[in-house]
Amino acid sequence: MSDNTVPADMHVDSRRHTNPDGSVGGWVEPTATVTPTATIGFDARVSGEALVSGNARVSGNALVSDNARVYDSVVVSGSARVYDSAVVFGNALVFDNARVSGEAKVFENALVYDSAKVFDNAQVFDNAQVYDSAVVFGKARVSGKVRVSGKAQVFGKAQVYDSALVSGNALVSGKARVSGEARVSGSAFVSGNAQVCDNAQVYDNAQVSGSALVSGSALVFGRARVSGETEVFDSAVVSGSASVFGNARVSGSARVSGKTRVFG
């Protein structure tokens, strides 16, 4: 196929965009809108009723399609895809094999890259980064200086913010909150209205659910279960196959391990 042959998967009346510097850009379908200020790389494409405007750049083999909107100083590059009714704006970067779809929004200085996916009504913003094979979906919000990596999933109406990290195969769902410099990793699961904050860590196969609070420098790991309206804080540790539930409080330098059950 010559450089002037319209790709087979694009409308026959597609045209190449003329970039602000006068260079020949990528293909744009007649139903799509690319403003003169935007840059479309030679192998990049814009299709459907997508909009690329402002100083946005679409490069590499990237595709912006359907009803997606990409504007301001955004860069979509590599083999990234922005489609459906997704919106990417501000100084956000979407690159590598990342996907942003549904009615998701990625904005401000957020980064979505590697094979990460953001979809449904999820939002990633501020200086947050979602990468590796991580997924953010539902009505989840990821912001601040958060890092979501590995095969982690943040979904439901969960919020991860401040400088928190969610990694490995961890799941954060429901209306859970992970904040401060908290870490949720391994195959940990934080759900319901639970909160993990400050410098707390939840990892391995631990689960924190209900309206439980894990804060301070507390550690919850192994196959431990923390639920109900429990609070685990200070330098407390809950590990092994221990269960802490009800209205229990575990604090100070307390250690709850093995198959111990603590009910408050």
CA 205 – CA 189 distance, rounded (Å): 7
Q: Based on C-alpha coordinates, what's the Rg of the chain?
A: 22
**What are the beta bridge partners of residue 190?**
172, 208
Q: How confident is the model at residue 28 (pLDDT cuts 50, 70, 90)?
A: very high
Write out pLDDT tens, residues 220-240: 999 999 999 999 999 999 999
Query: Exposed (0-12), middle (13-18) or buried (19+): which is 3, by Cβ within 10 Å?
Result: exposed
Structural domain includes residue 159: no
Identify the residue whose tokens are 């192994």.
222
What is the distance of C-alpha 202 from the center of its chain?
Answer: 19
Residues 172-224: tens digit of each pLDDT = 999 999 999 999 999 999 999 999 999 999 999 999 999 999 999 999 999 99
Q: Is residue 182 part of a domain?
A: no
176 lies in some domain: no
- pLDDT, residue 36, reads 97
Q: The pTM is what?
A: 0.96
> Where residue 64 falls among pLDDT bands split at 50, 70, 90?
very high
* Overall domain count for the chain: 1
Q: Is residue 237 part of a domain?
A: no
- Whether residue 180 lies inside any domain: the answer is no
HSE-up (13 A, CA, CB side) for residue 130: 37
Report the CATH number that the domain containing residue 88 is assigned in CATH.
2.160.10
Q: How far apart are CA 48 and CA 140, in angstroms?
A: 27
* Domain membership flag for residue 88: yes
Q: Is residue 3 part of a domain?
A: yes
Is position 34 within any domain? yes
Domain that holds residue 71: 1-100
